[in-house]
Amino acid sequence: MSADGAPTAPGWAERARTALAQARVGTLSVRSCRAGTSATATVVAVDCDEAGRPLVWLEESSPTASALGRCGPAALVVHDGSADLTLRLVGVFRPVGREGGRRAYRADLLSVRLVGHGGVAVAVEDFAAASPDPLREVSADVLRHLERAHTAALVSCVRAHGLHDALAVVPRGLTRYGLRLGVIGEDGVDEVVLAFPDGPVDSLADLPAGFRVPLSCRCGAGAD
């Protein structure tokens, strides 16, 4: 929390919503209707609606599609590599449409859990009320460019913020709350978040010039 009580990092519900919004594929596990048999895992295309309910796409001839209609709840697992988070969603998947020989199934969620971090459970109503991070579409490009072209400037920046023994800096994450950096020093690696003034923000355009200019930069320095 900041001095005025405003959050300076995304909560678990927002992280979970962002992980789902980022996902393009996932693993859908459907337990067999027959007792004593194991679940079947299928790689599926993933989307979500505006309410955060996951959508999966299956070939109409898929045995998994048939099982979804007969065998109760299923579990969808997706991974957000940018935040190193794995999300597990359990729900009842119901058919909602067809397109090109595939059928879409939307989940009425029963549970939401972030795997790792001690296994964080997120209330379904909190998950539905949260919004995915608005910078998720640009974060990968911003981080890649900072690492390729501006690491020297980042080292100078963190030294100016008190980490005088910083030897190198690795950009690790960008959210509407701030820029997350791994700072390598003589004693190991520290994680530092440069919080955005007056954050959270809805776009890079909302940032003051000191942040907006370097994060929006697409100069040719460090190009492949």
- Rounded Cα–Cα distance for residues 180 and 196 (Å): 11
Average pLDDT of the segment spanning 59-76: 85
One domain, residues 108 and 141:
no
Q: Are strands 102-115 and 54-59 parallel, antiparallel or unpaired?
A: antiparallel
Residue 78 belongs to a domain: yes
Q: Which tokens in the block code for residue 208?
A: 């003051």
Residue 3 counted as domain residue: no
Instruction: Provide the pairing of β-strand 39-48 with 102-115.
Output: unpaired
**Sequence letter at residue 128:** A
Strand (E) or helix (H) holding 136:
helix 136-149
Specify the higher pLDDT residue, 82 or 40.
40
Distances in whole angstroms, Cα of residue 137 to Cα of each of 74, 106, 134, 192, 219: 29, 23, 7, 22, 19
pLDDT tens figures, 99-158: 888 999 999 999 999 987 678 999 999 999 999 999 999 999 999 999 999 999 999 999
192 and 123, same structural domain? no
pLDDT of residue 2 exceeding 50, the answer is no
Residues 66 and 107 in one domain: yes
CATH number at residue 77: 2.30.110.10
Whether residues 145 and 56 share a domain: the answer is no
Q: What is the full DSSP assignment across 191-206?
A: EEEEEPTT---SSGGG
Strand partners, 80: 85
Q: Is residue 115 located within the same domain as residue 165?
A: no
State which of 75, 103, 129 marks the end of a domain: 129
Are residue 118 and residue 56 in the same domain, yes or no? yes
| Residue 163 located in a structural domain | yes
User: Which letter, b or e, does each residue of 66-97 get, where b requires 16 or more Cβ atoms within 10 Å of its Cβ?
Assistant: ebbeebebbbbbbbbebbebbbbbbbebeeee
**Joined tokens for residue 181:** 């950096």
Whether residue 5 lies inside any domain: the answer is no
Task: Provide the domain count of the chain.
Answer: 2
Residues 31 and 102 grouped into a single domain: yes
Residues 124 and 188 in one domain: no
Strand, helix or coil for residue 177: coil
Does 17 reside within a domain? yes
Give yes or no: residues 31 and 123 share one domain.
yes
**Confidence (pLDDT) at 221:** 52
Q: Is the pLDDT of residue 83 over 50?
A: yes
Q: How far apart are CA 164 and CA 156, in angstroms?
A: 9
pLDDT at 36 over 80: no
Question: Tokens at residue 7, please?
Answer: 């959050």
Question: What pLDDT sits at residue 118?
Answer: 74
Does 65 lie in the same domain as 162? Answer: no
In a domain, 61, yes or no: yes
- How many CA atoms lie less than 13 Å away from 62 in the CB half-sphere? 22
114 and 184 belong to one structural domain:
no
The pLDDT assigned to 224 comes to 46
Q: What confidence tier does 177 reach under pLDDT thresholds 50, 70, 90?
A: very high
| Paired tokens of 99 | 């397109």
221 in a domain, yes or no?
Answer: no
Question: Which token pair is 158?
Answer: 């963190």
For residues 147 and 81, membership in a common domain is answered with no
Residue ending a domain, choose from 80, 100, 129: 129
Residue 47 has pLDDT above 60, yes or no: yes
Range of the domain at 203: 136-216
The CATH number covering residue 168 comes to: 3.20.180.10
